[in-house]
Amino acid sequence: MNLDATLLQTIDADFFDGAAQTKAQLKHTNGNVLRIRFAGREMRSAYKWANGFLDEHEVSLLATSLNENVALFKRGSRGPTTSWYFDWMVLHHYIWVPILEISNRVIDLMNRQAHRKTTGLLSRDDLGDAVCLRAVRADGTSFVASVSSLRDEQINLFPSEFNWEYHPLDKSFQRIRFLLDRGLYFEAVLVSQAALEGIVNLMFPADTKQQFFDGKEPKLETKYRFLRDFILSDTSREWLAQGAMRMYLDGGLKEIYDLRNHYAHDALEKRPNYIYDGSIMHATRRLLRPLTDGWENGLFQRQVSGLQALISEFEEFLKTRLNNNS
C-alpha cells in the first residue's frame, strides 16, 4: 500500500473552511501535523491492514456490512463497492488503525532523534482529540469530520455520583487505563501483572502454602493450573470458567508475563532495535482490555470476588488433589 504521509509545520490554512465546529472539538490545532492521504484505490489495502487489529465485535460488524453491500450490488467475488470503504458508519471503525500506526512510527522516529524532549505515543482514545478527516468526493466537494472518541475528561461527574467505596482493584485498573491512554505500554503491563498476580496470590495465603507446599512459594504456572482445575471441577463454577477469568488462566497471564519480559529483559539484555512495534502494542491492549473496558472490567471484578468467596472450597480441592498425587 502506497500512502502519501507528510509531516507539516502547521495545518493547511484552508483545511477547516466550513468546519469550525469540528475544529473546536480538537485539542491540538497548532504546531506540527502529520498529513496522510488515502486514495480510493488504497482503501481496500487499508481495510485489510486494519482487520488484524480490530476487536471481535468490530470485525463481525464490518463483515456483516460488507456482505450486505456485496449482495445489494451483486458484486460477487469483486468485494464491496469503493463507496463502502468511505461510508462513515464503516470508515470510523477501521481507519483509526493506519492513522495510529503511521503516527506512532513517526513519533517513535522523532523521539529517537530528539534531544531531551520526547512525545508520548498515541492511543486510540487520543485520536478523537487530535485527528480529523477531510473526505473529497469525485465532484470536488468535501467535508470534514472528527474521529469519534469520548475521553474521560469529557464525562462530567458530580460528587453524589462518585463511588466512594470502590473496590481496591479499581485504583489499579484505573491506573492501567491511564497509562494505556498515554501510550505507556510497558508501565501498564507492569501494573497489570502486579494486580493480576495479587489476585492469584490471594488464593494462596501463608496458611495454604504452609499446609500444602511445605511453606514454599509455588510457581505461578502451578497456581494457574490449580485454580483452572478447581474452577472446571464443578459445574456450579461454570460462570467463572468463561470471559476474562478463563482467558487469563488459559494462557493470558503467561502472555502478560512474556510481554513484561519483552519490554524489560529484552530491552536490558538483548539490546533490540528500538523501533515502534504495532503488533506488541495491540497485543498489550487486547490482554489488558478486561482491566480497562468498563463493562468487561465489572464482569471480571465480580468473578474475582466470587473466586475469593470460594477459598475454603479451594483448600478442600487442594487437599484432595495433592493427597491423590502423593
The full set of domain ranges for the chain reads 4-148, 159-325
pLDDT in tens, 173-231: 888 888 887 778 888 888 898 889 888 998 999 899 998 898 898 988 899 899 999 99
Residues of the chain falling short of pLDDT 50: 150-159, 161-162, 164, 272, 274
CB proximity list for 305: less than 8 A, separation 6 or greater: 167
Q: Which residue in 254, 238, 232 sits closest to 317, CA to CA? A: 232
Own/partner long-range contacts of 225-233 (Cβ < 8 Å, ≥24 apart): 226/317, 226/318, 226/321, 227/200, 227/203, 227/307, 227/314, 229/317, 229/321, 230/310, 230/313, 230/314, 230/317, 231/307, 233/317
What is the residue-averaged pLDDT of the chain? 81
Q: What percent of the chain has pLDDT over 90?
A: 12
pLDDT in tens, 56-82: 888 899 999 999 999 999 998 888 998
Q: Which residue in 139, 142, 107 sits closest to 126, CA to CA? A: 107
| Predicted pLDDT of residue 68 | 93
